[in-house]
Structure 1
């Protein structure tokens, strides 16, 4: 995935950090295209027969730990459009320095015999909407999730937020308020102190990672890619996922000076939307500020500083479990440039990323969590702060498997270590 920005300064949920504990085998590396050698984002890396694993970041990097008892297991790397890669753990000479090369698996349209081959791309999308009650939970469900959100300005990380939470939904066929169709119940959280940088408007106004969740799920809201009245559709080709045939449909609509790149991946047999990748980049020589573009002056922050949005990207992935597709991973990423609105001089980059991974779904006899833990939506303000449970975070399996990137930790710990910051933020109740 290409970008004119130096993406290497941005660190994502699954990133490089070595664990010295003897109880684990560190599995770390990069997933690349076999022909082009370009990194592959959002590849799924896990062990055979297990649902938990890693998802490669925008640079194709992944990093997670497994127990020593798993040395006889098989590592499986799967990604839409590529042949599944399998490798025995005990045959890997250096599991902390892997390069996984994936072979493309694109099936041309004229090579297939598909029962509904005569359907147009729009008709396929209409069938996705029609089959939502068959493919997604229609009764109350409960998902446990982990989120990590971080922001950067001028090569300096300015904030970090992590939380373990429960997501309660009424079902995909229920009528819900757009924006907050699911309720968030906070279990544990921790946050760094805020670094006194510029804090341009996008970073100030997007403090709450759960707000992004409320707008990102196309299937639940029947929005974005599934907004038939506003989109155009084109069937690009077919691909496979775990040996199952998948439609690849390009979605487009007018975004003013921005040009969208939106792909939908739809199971041929079930018409389930299993993945959406959405990306918009500023064309060469153009700048885009969503606030100023609409004629507002909200983009102005401190003194004569303003911002440009250069890239917006999102990814939503579902995982099939017992015949239903369950939300597995979401990502929302923005980046741009801080500039002087008077001199028009570019100063430095800014970026923000919100990632969530879900596990432990409950679909039967679901009980709504206690209202005491309910996170009431407060627009874009900071989410609720609760006491810092150091013991929980020390033993939390996802933190063990997906340790915080050392660049983020070092960047935020220049004056005060992160553990002290977590305690201080909790005491302040900010």
Structure 2
């Protein structure tokens, strides 16, 4: 494969042709057929084999494509274009064949063939240019819509452009904006600016309220009015659910689904009442984003996966049920989460309140109220703040924002100062947060979206490790099996090529048997997970042939080895991870009864284990996958 400057120059030239070709377009030698039978090898090795048996040469940018992914591929007399399509199936890689050259490129999110063609958008504050998180987007003259994510991003199915539809974008504190879908561009992310609409209201205006309510009394009135403002009759809503992990602002383990939630009404217990159920219409493990199953380790509160300062019950269960449990409005008579506690009973006594301003949503006046948790509740261990958005007329709660920060103390120059003169600074680390919004429909408030995330720490002991060491008596060598693929590359060697690890210096490989050092001759890679360490002498060959002796008497140290995830061998690290669970409503059905003769989602099992039902109207709704660049 071509490397270095030549590769980059060629890709720059070929980029001029890229926009005029669809994926897997063949411009030459379309009748070339190949046969492959490779098991558990990196994509890079597959490409090397194709180069060996054909006249094709691959070109790519290292930062654009991940060729270390392990694959198994078996093909017989298959055309080259179909072979590559199979190789890159469900991978974020596209290819173009131009004469005897194959150019690889990162798949563009606009070229997502697994979904209906969609128009990509991002809504921002017109003045500050910052993302407008969780804005509501509705298709005009319908009850359908979608919610922008925390980055203001959303998708619109292309059929709404074909139908000459209009979308309506709204958010508390902003002017509602209508946009003809025809005016949105197809091949790029449309940036949509929304202007603020804020009406200031001085404290004296509140004093002149005909009921003369204080800020605290307004909050109390809102909580008392929950039973009047939210539905007690059976209803349902169809929406887009997703859960994922964020590590250094990068998505991991993104799961998505369309689900219909049936709610028996506010007076029923969300988890235990049989009238509260869910029906799954699809479930998608998104392979376009990084996945690491180790991140799914169950909470054990201390050794492997834990939330510092919190005790969690290791019940596991349904992700959607866990999210629903953190809704303080729907569960206002029950415990939701720490410091919020039981919303109806504890929220007001746990917090202090401050009026910010009067704002609005579609000309409906709303109080924006700030709150903080009392120090008697947090005991200086946490900083808790948030906002309530309460309608001025019927006191319905439109929106709750709740953020808990963990307080950490850091001593500056601890060894140079006297105990009484220590310079201590406070830092704040996100612990967990809730963003919840309800929207009015007729005379009641229905869920619009809920997003809950919590920080946890995961000790990744031996995430990259040696799985097994055995002795090859015939070759006088150790065979070392690793659990993950190593960073390695092919280099020319005589008439052939060898796979060489990034760390191939003999001094990095130390083996002692019965406290005697074994001299290493050289290092060989059999594949990306199997290494052969050849020894210079075989004085212990008979003893090493006994696995028991290896386990008991062999000590070794291997330095400077990394896996393809850039993890050092046998190194532990405490990962800082944010777990997100989110549900975005797309359509509400007031007064809809629970259906019979259908298998509901098991509330105690993961969604991935639930039955997926056929749904005639499924095409009305869409998966609002994050728009940011796919991580590979």
Q: What's the TM-score, normalizing by structure 1?
A: 0.70
Corresponding residue for residue 606 of structure 2: 382
Alignment of 1:402-413 (within 5 A): 402-403=624-625, 411=632
Corresponding residue for residue 256 of structure 2: 162
The reply to whether residue 310 of structure 1 matches residue 430 of structure 2 is yes
Offset of residue 125 of structure 1 = 1.8
**Alpha carbons 1:252, 1:262 under 8 Å: kept:** yes
Corresponding residue for residue 136 of structure 1: 230
Offset of residue 241 of structure 1 = 0.5
Corresponding residue for residue 272 of structure 1: 396
Larger Rg over CA atoms: 2
**Alpha carbons 1:136, 1:325 under 8 Å: kept:** yes
Offset of residue 209 of structure 1 = 1.8
2:245 corresponds, among 129, 141, 151, to 151
Offset of residue 94 of structure 1 = 6.2
Instruction: Write the distance in 1 (CA, Å) between the matches of 2:135 and 2:327.
Output: 19
Corresponding residue for residue 585 of structure 2: 358
Instruction: Write the distance in 2 (CA, Å) between the matches of 1:125 and 1:375.
Output: 36
**Alpha carbons 1:81, 1:241 under 8 Å: kept:** yes
Give SS of 1:317's match: strand
Alignment of 1:168-247 (within 5 A): 168-172=262-266, 174=267, 176=269, 183-190=276-283, 192=285, 195-197=292-294, 199=297, 201=305, 208-222=318-332, 224=340, 226=344, 227-247=347-367
Instruction: Write the distance in 2 (CA, Å) between the matches of 1:104 and 1:28.
Output: 23
Corresponding residue for residue 126 of structure 1: 220
Give SS of 2:109's match: coil
Give SS of 1:350's match: strand
The reply to whether residue 84 of structure 1 matches residue 176 of structure 2 is yes
What whole-Å deviation, never above 9, does each CA across 1:135-190 have from its counterpart, x for those lacking one?
Answer: 21112223334311122557875534334433233322x25378879723333453
What whole-Å deviation, never above 9, does each CA across 1:91-146 have from its counterpart, x for those lacking one?
Answer: 44668432222222222223968744731122112222332233211122233343
**Alpha carbons 1:153, 1:197 under 8 Å: kept:** no
Instruction: Write the distance in 2 (CA, Å) between the matches of 1:221 and 1:154.
Output: 33
2:368 corresponds, among 235, 248, 266, to 248
Change over 3 Å in CA distance of 1:207–1:189 after alignment to 2: farther
Using CA pairs under 8 Å that are at least 6 residues apart, name the structure with larger relative contact order, 1 or 2: 1
**Alpha carbons 2:599, 2:611 under 8 Å: kept:** no
Change over 3 Å in CA distance of 1:269–1:180 after alignment to 2: same
**Alpha carbons 2:236, 2:590 under 8 Å: kept:** yes
**Alpha carbons 1:41, 1:59 under 8 Å: kept:** yes
Unaligned runs of 5+ in 1: 1-15, 287-307, 412-430
Change over 3 Å in CA distance of 1:18–1:176 after alignment to 2: same
What whole-Å deviation, never above 9, does each CA across 1:274-303 have from its counterpart, x for those lacking one?
Answer: 1112223345757xxxxxxxxxxxxxxxxx
Instruction: Write the distance in 1 (CA, Å) between the matches of 2:406 and 2:193.
Output: 30
Q: What's the TM-score, normalizing by structure 2?
A: 0.50
Instruction: Write the distance in 2 (CA, Å) between the matches of 1:394 and 1:134.
Output: 32
Instruction: Write the distance in 1 (CA, Å) between the matches of 2:617 and 2:292.
Output: 24
2:198 corresponds, among 82, 87, 106, to 106
Instruction: Write the distance in 2 (CA, Å) between the matches of 1:74 and 1:156.
Output: 33
Q: Number of aligned pairs? A: 364
Instruction: Write the distance in 1 (CA, Å) between the matches of 2:172 and 2:322.
Output: 24
Change over 3 Å in CA distance of 1:267–1:385 after alignment to 2: same
Instruction: Write the distance in 2 (CA, Å) between the matches of 1:202 and 1:336.
Output: 6
**Alpha carbons 1:185, 1:369 under 8 Å: kept:** no
Instruction: Write the distance in 2 (CA, Å) between the matches of 1:159 and 1:197.
Output: 10
Instruction: Write the distance in 2 (CA, Å) between the matches of 1:24 and 1:362.
Output: 25
Change over 3 Å in CA distance of 1:370–1:394 after alignment to 2: closer
What whole-Å deviation, never above 9, does each CA across 1:175-232 have from its counterpart, x for those lacking one?
Answer: 5378879723333453649734354625996663223333222222226365233232
Alignment of 1:279-318 (within 5 A): 279-283=403-407, 310-318=430-438
Unaligned runs of 5+ in 2: 1-107, 298-303, 411-427, 462-571
Corresponding residue for residue 398 of structure 1: 621
Give SS of 2:276's match: strand
**Alpha carbons 2:601, 2:607 under 8 Å: kept:** no
Q: CA RMSD in A?
A: 4.0
**Alpha carbons 1:180, 1:214 under 8 Å: kept:** no
Offset of residue 83 of structure 1 = 1.8
**Alpha carbons 2:256, 2:284 under 8 Å: kept:** yes
